[in-house]
């Protein structure tokens, strides 16, 4: 079986899966839209192409390059394997696969149902692609539920657990002493700081926590265009026990998970100026935090919540965009050490069961075999 993989960007948590696919199948080429992030290298024995450059603001050049690559390499593959069924990348790959009589497999994680007019148009294209794909790979149960509601054939839907690298066994030290919070109960936010991630809601909730508990501390890791507004909000609320850490590299995140007592991902459903909606389709930071045995607080706008967080068991799922609910969940965990410890242990157990690269690979492997044998 000869496979052409078209993917947005190589990340460290995808290296193992792509290498296993390369070892089992003939991967004619990897086509990435973006170069890998700093600190990640594409293996030298991979055949690959990177399409996007900074001067391609309108996105016309990379689309032309993608079309050229697919046509130029058409004799080298039997299956096009791509992701994000709502993207123009997938529409191009799907159309050319049909024209060239190739198999088409898509991998997606979208599950939100709030539709703007633009989203409805894109959704109609996505539905057509899903129904006419040779097989479909989904991240989690919410995506599968949406596809079934959309009328996608159940037999061609395959689940591939999204996995992260487990750094917990190699990280032994925390930073409490270094940043002078050794006697604090530490809450960690670690993600991009953009509006739909809901950091402003967490800051408002933490203000309520700080009024009730003088030993709570909020650590904020990440950067983004919403950071300054969040800093201004914390100043206006006169929050004392709080620290913005700035951008943290993937190689450093483990020490911050090791430093905290509870992890929070407070993402919200956000209507954008264009009329589209943003939300947390998955949230791999939840996988990472659970690998360190942490209780989790997240919202109903986070895809991972429905597969990894059992409300009241290893954390809490609260209503998105609701500081009061978030505050109550934080107080429950921070004020009960025994409960927090048990929740953390349960998180680790769920992580070990779910975050299995064999299961992840098998889902993709089954989908590729199904597509070829249709």
DSSP string over 126-159: HHHHHHHSSEEEESSHHHHHHHHHTT--GGGEEE
167-196: average pLDDT: 92
Four-point Cα dihedral 99, 105, 110, 115, nearest 10: 30
Q: Above 70 in pLDDT, residue 117?
A: no
Q: How confident is the model at residue 118 (pLDDT cuts 50, 70, 90)?
A: low
State the alpha helices, DSSP H only, in the chain: 12-24, 60-72, 88-99, 117-132, 141-149, 199-212, 227-236, 253-259, 284-291, 305-308, 323-334, 337-354, 357-373
Per DSSP, the chain holds a count of helices (H) and strands (E) of 13, 15
Residues 95-104: tens digit of each pLDDT: 999 999 999 9
Q: Taking each helix axis as running N to C, give the angle between helix 60-72 and helix 88-99, from 0 to 180 degrees, rounded to the nearest 10.
A: 30
Residues 213, 225: contact at Cβ < 8 Å? no
Residues 105, 134: contact at Cβ < 8 Å? yes
**pLDDT on residue 55:** 66
Three-state DSSP class for 94?
helix
pLDDT above 90 covers what percent of the chain? 83
Q: Above 70 in pLDDT, residue 300?
A: yes
Structure tokens at 237: 């609320």
Residues 316-366: tens digit of each pLDDT: 999 999 999 999 999 999 999 999 999 999 999 999 999 999 999 999 999
Residues 31-72: tens digit of each pLDDT: 999 999 888 899 999 999 999 865 666 678 899 999 999 999
Four-point Cα dihedral 359, 364, 367, 371, nearest 10: -160
d(CA 363, CA 138): 9
Q: Above 80 in pLDDT, residue 141?
A: yes
Residues 186-245: tens digit of each pLDDT: 999 999 999 999 999 999 999 999 999 999 999 999 999 999 999 999 999 999 999 999
Q: How confident is the model at residue 134 (pLDDT cuts 50, 70, 90)?
A: very high
Task: Name the pTM for this structure.
Answer: 0.93
Residues 259-269: tens digit of each pLDDT: 999 999 999 99
């Amino acid at each position: 079986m000869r496979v052409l993989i078209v993917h947005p960007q190589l990340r460290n948590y995808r290296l193992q899966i792509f290498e296993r696919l390369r070892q089992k199948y003939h991967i004619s080429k990897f086509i990435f839209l973006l170069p890998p992030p700093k600190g990640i290298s594409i293996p030298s024995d991979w055949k690959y192409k990177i399409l996007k450059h900074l001067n391609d603001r309108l996105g016309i050049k990379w689309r032309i390059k993608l079309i050229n690559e697919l046509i130029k390499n058409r004799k080298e593959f039997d299956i096009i394997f791509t992701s994000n069924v709502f993207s123009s990348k997938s529409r191009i790959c799907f159309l050319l696969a049909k024209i060239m009589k190739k198999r088409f497999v898509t991998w997606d994680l979208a599950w939100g149902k709030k539709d703007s007019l633009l989203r409805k148009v894109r959704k109609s294209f996505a539905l057509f692609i899903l129904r006419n794909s040779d097989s479909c790979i989904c991240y989690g149960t919410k995506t599968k539920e949406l596809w079934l509601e959309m009328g996608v054939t159940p037999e061609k839907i395959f689940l591939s657990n999204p996995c992260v690298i487990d750094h917990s066994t190699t990280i032994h030290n925390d930073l409490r002493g270094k940043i002078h919070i050794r006697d604090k109960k530490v809450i960690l936010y670690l993600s991009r700081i953009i509006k739909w991630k809901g950091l402003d809601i967490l800051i408002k909730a933490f203000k309520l926590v700080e009024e009730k508990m003088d030993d709570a501390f909020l650590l904020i890791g990440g950067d983004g265009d919403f950071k300054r507004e969040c800093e201004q909000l914390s100043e206006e609320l006169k929050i004392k026990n709080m620290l913005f850490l700035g951008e943290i590299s993937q190689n450093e995140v483990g020490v911050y998970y090791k430093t905290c007592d509870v992890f929070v991902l407070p993402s919200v459903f956000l209507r954008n100026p264009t009329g589209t909606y943003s939300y947390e389709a998955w949230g791999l930071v939840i996988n990472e935090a659970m690998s360190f045995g942490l209780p989790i607080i997240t919202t109903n706008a986070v895809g991972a919540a429905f597969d990894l967080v059992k409300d009241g068991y290893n954390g809490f799922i609260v209503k998105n965009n609701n500081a009061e609910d978030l505050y109550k969940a934080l107080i429950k965990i921070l004020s009960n050490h025994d409960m927090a410890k048990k929740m953390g242990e349960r998180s680790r157990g769920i992580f070990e069961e779910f975050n299995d690269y064999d299961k992840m690979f098998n889902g993709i492997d089954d989908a590729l075999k199904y597509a070829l044998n249709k």
